[in-house]
Amino acid sequence: MTYEEYMRTLEEQVVNKRAKHFIRQEFENHIEEQAMYYETEGMDKESALKEAVRQMGDPVKTGQELNKIHRPKFPVCLFALAFTLTISGICMQGIIFSHGKTGQNFINAHDTWILLPNYLINTILYNSLGLILIIGILYFNYNYFVKYILGLYGMYLCAIIAGHYLIRSYGIYWTYNYFLWMVYPLLFAGLLYRFRNRGIKGIFLCECLTLLVFFVKIMFPGMAVFSGATMESWLVITIILFLAVYKEIFGTKNVKLFAAASLIVIPPVSFFLLSLLGKFPVYYMKRLTALLSFFSSANPEGEAFYLINHLRENISQYAFIGGHTLPDYINFTELYSNYMVTSVFSWFGIIPGLIILTLFALFCFHALRTSLRQNNRLGMMLGSACSISILVRILAYVLSNFGFGPYTTISIPFFTYGLLSSLINAVFVGIIMCVYRNSSILKEECF
């Protein structure tokens, strides 16, 4: 059997194109090395190649064995949970919205009346687009993400600067800023992998690039420098940096690597220490104290805490099933975006609310488990960044809906209304599913 015949027969047995590619590469290299060895033993080039091919064994049997191993896997469990949550989200939003006009005290009643006819169509459209995007991302070769990661990082910095100069509306800038911070952990996971196996130097590079993002944001603040989204983003990147060290992305784990990773906590810790020492400007001290009050168990006093005190009082009034009321102290347009959990508990009751929270918990659990179990370190990093990001946002969202967190925009998959929110969350969910689907057919590549 000639070399070409062997390779053709072997490839014919493997169905998946991506698997064919890396199997071919590995077998070609092997035959080449074996043939070179025979040449050093005195064989001529042609005979050496022929003998190397003969030594490979039966290509049909080998190909069939490899085909059994390298097949795409459909993420049945994750997809079923995502689909159930999407349908539940649409139905619950639809029901809540259709009852919104019955005696609720709207702050922006005029806006609500304008939104009414389009609302359900929009939410179905946005979620359908999100679902299409998830299915599209399933077929994405995420190796390309790291191949162009430095270019993407550069584009990210340009996006921060462009936002500063081009966006003039506060509302639009707030949303833009939120989504910029939301996607940074994904970019950071790509950077961690890009500088893999470089030990402490690799960690410093990733930390410096993150510091540069913060620096650019301070230099080009637009209409908001930092927000709750910054804290979410920082928390997620801290977790994935430690995860990367633990999973030996930068080499065999040791104390020095963990110490280098710990540097990421210096900026927030120094802010905290400065505030304790009273070295912080008064304005920032007051904002920090107010922020901490949002998480305290005692009901804080003051106009700023009006909403959270109401949310906390409401907990004891939720019915087990049903309730059919909506909180009149929340702007109606917020009920189906930032306060969906509150709306679900108020209108449908505690048990349906807990079912939804359980579905979210199951989704996060499966997403995180799937990601952490990946052998492909890039898949593991990207999947973990997306899973941890979703988990952190869901936790923040649920806590703020029960009155334990500041009033701020938090975007979670399946339940928050809005085109951009649906699409960006779909990218996160899609990447987790893509990592699972490609676990046996995408291999780490050199860049």
Partner 1 sequence: MAIDKNLVQGSMGLMILRLLEEKDMYGYQMIETLRSKSNNVFELKAGTLYPLLHTLENKGYLTAYEDTSSGKIRKYYHLTPSGKKQVKEKKQEWELYQTAVTNVLNFAGGGI
Site string for partner 1, 41-60 (x = CB under 8 A): --------------xxxxx-
Distance of closest approach, residue 30 Cβ to partner 1, in angstroms: 5
Going by C-alpha positions, the residue among 291, 326, 294 that lies closest to residue 403 is 294
Per-position b or e across 236-258, b if 16+ CB within 10 A of its CB = bbbbbbbbbbebebbbeeeeebe
- DSSP-assigned letter for residue 40: H
Give the residue with the Cβ less far from partner 1, 312 or 377: 377
Which residue among 5, 8, 15, 30 contacts partner 1 (CB under 8 A)?
30
Residue 437 token pair: 């689907």
The amino acid at 4: E
**Among 13, 20, 34, 93, contact with partner 1 (rule: CB under 8 A):** 34
Please, what is the minimum distance in Å from the beta carbon of residue 285 to partner 1?
Answer: 46
| Span interacting with partner 1, options 116-124, 215-223, 278-286, 435-443, rule CB under 8 A | 435-443
Residue 98 CA to residue 117 CA, distance in Å, equals: 10
To the nearest whole angstrom, how small is the minimum distance from the Cβ of residue 304 to partner 1? Answer: 49
Pick from 21, 76, 186: nearest CA to 437: 76
CA–CA distance, 250 with 197 (Å, rounded to integer)? 4
- Span of 30-38, 210-218, 277-285, 295-303 interacting with partner 1 by CB under 8 A: 30-38
What span, in angstroms and rounded, lies between the C-alpha atoms of 301 and 304? 8
Question: If binding is defined by CB under 8 A, does position 243 make contact with partner 1?
Answer: no
Single residue of 8, 15, 25, 269 touching partner 1 by CB under 8 A: 25
Name which of 217 and 443 has its Cβ closer to partner 1.
443
Choose which of 8, 12, 15, 69 interacts with partner 1 (CB under 8 A): 69
- Report the C-alpha gap between 130 and 87 in whole angstroms: 12
Residue closer to partner 1, measured from CB, 30 or 287: 30
414 near 427, Cβ under 8 Å? no
According to the binding rule CB under 8 A, does residue 62 interact with partner 1? yes
Judged by CB under 8 A, does residue 21 bind partner 1? no
Using CB under 8 A, which residues numbered 358 to 417 contact partner 1?
373, 375-377
Taking the complex as a whole, how short is the minimal distance between the CB of residue 355 and partner 1, in angstroms? Answer: 33
Query: Looking at beta carbons only, is 324 or 373 nearer to partner 1?
Result: 373
Nearer to partner 1, 57 or 136 (CB): 57
Closest distance between partner 1 and the C-beta of residue 179, in Å?
A: 33
SS3 call for 265: helix
Question: What does the alpha-carbon distance between residue 138 and residue 141 come to, in Å, rounded to a whole number?
Answer: 9
Taking the alpha carbons at both ends of the chain, their separation in whole angstroms is 34
Q: Does 325 bind partner 1 (CB under 8 A)?
A: no
C-alpha 108 chain-centroid distance: 33
Question: Total number of residues binding partner 1 (CB under 8 A)?
Answer: 32
Q: Is 301 left (phi over 0), alpha (psi -120 to 50) or beta?
A: beta
Selected from 5, 12, 33, 46, the binder of partner 1 by CB under 8 A is: 33
Among residues 62 and 123, whose Cβ is nearest to partner 1? Answer: 62
DSSP class of residue 443 equals: -
One DSSP character per residue, 165-223 reads HH---HHHHHHHHHHHHHHHHHHHHHHHHHTTT-HHHHHHHHHHHHHHHHHHHHHS-TT
Nearer to partner 1, 62 or 346 (CB): 62
Nearer to partner 1, 216 or 444 (CB): 444
Residues found near partner 1 in the complex (CB under 8 A): 22-23, 25-27, 29-34, 55-59, 61-62, 65-66, 69-70, 373, 375-377, 439-440, 443-446
